[in-house]
Amino acid sequence: MEIVHTVENTRKILGQVSAEDKSIGFVPTMGALHEGHLDLMRRAKEENDYLVVSIFVNPIQFNNSEDLEKYPRTLESDIEKLESVSCDLVFNPSEEEMYPEPVTVKYNFGKLDLVMEGKHRPGHFHGVAVVVKKLFDIIQPDRAYFGQKDYQQLKVVEALVNKESLPVDVVACPTVREDDGLAMSSRNERLDEEERELAPVLYQSLKEVKDLAYKESVPEIKKWFEKQLEGYNDIQPEYFEIADAISCMPVDEMQKGKKYVACVAAHIGNVRLIDNIIINL
Ligand code: PAF
């Protein structure tokens, strides 16, 4: 496995890979790798000739400096995990390498950027779009793999690829969960023992929402969800929405035959977690 820190060397190596007509599968990450990431990588490796993973904690997608500071950085163990999935190249640039000049580009994702994560983390998706576009330019993958846990991010990346006509297939992969249902996330490492025990409540509640969706209205389900989490003093919900699964726009009513996604963000202690569940009505 090649560990490369510069854009120039990455381009050189990947230029050769493409010249040999090998397909490139790409998994962008911010490190602190867990089974959810490794699942994306195994799939990318299976579906492509050459696997590239980036590890870069992207400062411009954090709207909270404490969150950026506390983001786990575990490069040594990440590299061991990358070896275990037969990664071919890891791109691990410095901040200066990725952003030699101040960012001036402005992406407009319209309403997608104004709801749920976009509303509660202003600037977050712009930061994601800037770094993903740069990574795609450098790596030029045939396919890029994203987890459905960050559902809205996936929709933003799909919108970016459409908007910029980028020659890459975005592959959406199901959320990987712990045995108790907690969605895998690098942030889970920051939960203490009690918080970790509490965290699966989010997914358990989402599963009940999915059952309720067949018989209750959206306002009733929202009321139920709010009440459900009120029972846990240590969980502070930030938002809960049921959204159209294609546009990601929150809805007030659901129709049979359509696909929705119920999304939640909540703080457990100092850790902000998100999760979602697909509802096929
Ligand atoms: O999902 C993430 O880890 C990040 O948002 C991504 C896609 C690597 C961009 O920094």
High-pLDDT (> 90) share of the chain, %: 95
Q: Is the pLDDT of residue 67 over 90?
A: no
| Mean pLDDT rounded to a whole number for the chain | 96
Write down the pLDDT at residue 11: 98
37 is annotated as an active-site residue: yes
Which domains are assigned to the chain? 2-173 (3.40.50.620), 186-276 (3.30.1300.10)
Tens-digit pLDDT profile for residues 210-245: 999 999 999 999 999 999 999 999 999 999 999 999
Residue 167 dihedral angles phi and psi, to the nearest 5°: -85, 60
Among candidate residues 126, 6, 117, the one with its CA nearest the CA of residue 54: 6
Write down the pLDDT at residue 91: 98
Nearest CA to ligand 1 atom 9: 128
Q: Across residues 69-80, what is the average pLDDT?
A: 93
Give Cβ neighbours of residue 187 (< 8 Å, ≥ 6 apart): 271, 272, 273
* Residue whose CB lies within 8 A of the most ligand 1 atoms, among 74, 92, 126, 128, for a mutation test: 128
Nearest CA to ligand 1 atom 6: 29
Q: How confident is the model at residue 102 (pLDDT cuts 50, 70, 90)?
A: very high
Tens-digit pLDDT profile for residues 11-27: 999 999 999 999 999 99
Nearest CA to ligand 1 atom 2: 29
Is the minimum distance from the CB of 58 to ligand 1 under 6 angstroms? Answer: yes
Quote the CA–CA distance of 154 and 168 in Å, as a whole number: 14
Cα–Cα separations (whole angstroms), residue 6 to 10, 94, 175: 6, 8, 31
Task: State the Cα angle at 222 between 155 and 175, rounded to 5°.
Answer: 40
Q: How confident is the model at residue 90 (pLDDT cuts 50, 70, 90)?
A: very high
Is the minimum distance from the CB of 128 to ligand 1 under 6 angstroms? Answer: yes
Distance 244 CA to ligand 1 centre (A): 23
Point out the least confidently predicted range of 107-111, 135-139, 182-186, 275-279.
107-111
Residue 114 dihedral angles phi and psi, to the nearest 5°: -110, 0
Write down the pLDDT at residue 63: 85
Annotated catalytic residue within 37, 120, 126, 267 = 37
The sign one gets for the Cα dihedral 8, 3, 168, 18 is positive
